A and B are shown apart, each in its own frame.
Chain A
């Protein structure tokens, strides 16, 4: 099966001015490679500041203008160029961002989910996705500041599934949620994968990744250090890199002490 997304040796570099006018290149992601297949949840696990969000934004060609990207990204077997990304964004590729700051504070939730479309079909679809994630229809009329953290995340997921995306990139969608809400959000990802979408799940939480993902890519200082089936992380066998072994040992159920 062709992977829906394949990233090969992706590097992202920032240029910034340090002291006066001398420019400094800051490599943030280095030669990162991974693949996501349809119906699969692939987790990218890395510590904070390892460039995880940049990976998501890079795939979507939404990096800030002082960032440069190199490497190959294939979507559905074909190169994902900036132009192609522009067409696919919001249609076939959906981003599920981190939290409520990704919603316009001045706009009602319903209008944001529908992207301003007011036709009856969009309205019906919007109500359908809201109820799918256990949100009442009245949530449509609320502003983002009137949502709880868990509701905001579910609204963001609702935004993503408005158009039946084939690839979903979820960037740290669970921090700050209690275990039950987090489990619920994760079950939604699993469900989306079962319906045939590829899900790229970006997180810092290895334990969480193990519960939801089919495959785990361990990411450190911008580089892939290990790509393994999540079962490898259940047993600890088959992990080759010292960093991923250390991560595995740090899980509470393993020989943490």
Chain B
């Protein structure tokens, strides 16, 4: 019990430090950005027709003149009190914008996460079991090609094949263009999420499959599999390989949360899918500091949560940790 508490306390401290570091880095990058928020959001022509007072008011609104340290500390102080500010672009509280965007992205991310994990594990097991032979070579070849392909390019390719040539799936957006919000059916939403979800799943699955395959090969070469064979055991794959691949698979699965979220930024942009990823791009390009900081911290929290979940699951799955912790 004491061990568990210590473990949790350590993790919490680490999380606080991580979020602090991530927010500071995001802020510094944003501050160093050459984009002028006024020019990007209001436009050169509109600025030219404004009076100096109006421009000064706008500069205040976008926080152009305040020193960087003051702005960061101001944001940090508010954030610690639970106030994440108001998005400059959307003019709504940041948590509200994130919540709405995340609910758009949520099913996309979840589907991609589950599919990439399942597909990756399955292909990895298959390749490992057939190592050196046809199926292994084919799976490895495909995975290497996919993992050396940028996700946004894969997205464009799928878009071209399924939306432009075959015309079976929509080109973009999360709902049909021009449809009233309450007339949109679940089927329509699914159709729109299919391509982005597929892109993310395929891109994620490749890495997981390659890692799983290596682990399967290690297990098949292990002493205990040799001994199992020497004892005439059948079902080696089910009895020994699956069991021992489970641990690294859990790690990979939860570590891939970060890749899925990172990938979603570009993929959502390609499909004009109004999710969290796209909001992050808009906030970054539009100089919307509070929103970008909010999104950065929220996604860092999600990624950290994923890794924490993997650590905790380890303690349940691995007898060495479970029993060791109970004894010590």
Which residues of A are in contact with B by a Cβ distance under 8 Å?
A: 57, 60, 62, 64-65, 86-91, 94-95, 97-98, 101-107, 115-116, 143, 145-146, 156, 159
Contact = CB atoms under 8 A, between A and B. Distances in A.
A49 B223 CA distance: 17
B229 A143 contact: no
A145 B322 CA distance: 12
Nearest to A90: B232
The 9 closest A-B pairs by CB, nearest first: A90-B232, A90-B231, A102-B227, A95-B230, A89-B232, A101-B223, A143-B319, A104-B224, A102-B223
Interface in B293-324: 318-320, 323-324
B258 interface: no
Interface stretch (B31-39, B52-60, B147-155, B238-246): B238-246
Interface residues of B, number: 25
B227 A97 contact: yes
B226 interface: yes
B70 interface: no
A57 B221 CA distance: 13
Nearest to A101: B223
A97 B227 CA distance: 7
Nearest to A107: B243
A102 B224 contact: yes
Contacts of B324: 145
A104 B243 contact: yes
Contacts of A88: 232
B230 A90 contact: yes
Q: Chain A: interface secondary structure?
A: loop
Could you say which of B221, B229, B244 has the most chain A C-beta atoms within 10 Å of its C-beta?
A: B229
B317 to A, nearest CB: 8
Contacts of A65: 132
A95 B227 contact: yes
A104 B240 contact: yes
Interface string B224-268: 101111111101000110011011000000000000000000000
Contact of A116 (B230, B239, B247, B320): B239
15 contacts: A62-B230, A64-B221, A89-B230, A94-B230, A95-B230, A95-B231, A104-B224, A104-B228, A104-B244, A105-B319, A115-B232, A115-B233, A145-B324, A156-B227, A159-B231
Contacts of A57: 226
A140 to B, nearest CB: 14
A145 B320 contact: yes
B323 A60 contact: no
A104 B219 CA distance: 10
Contacts of A102: 223-224, 226-227
Contacts of B246: 106
B47 to A, nearest CB: 64
Contact of B229 (A89, A103, A107, A156): A89
Nearest to B324: A145
Nearest to B132: A65
Nearest to B224: A104
Given A97-B223, A143-B320, A143-B323, A106 B243 contact: yes
A103 B233 CA distance: 13
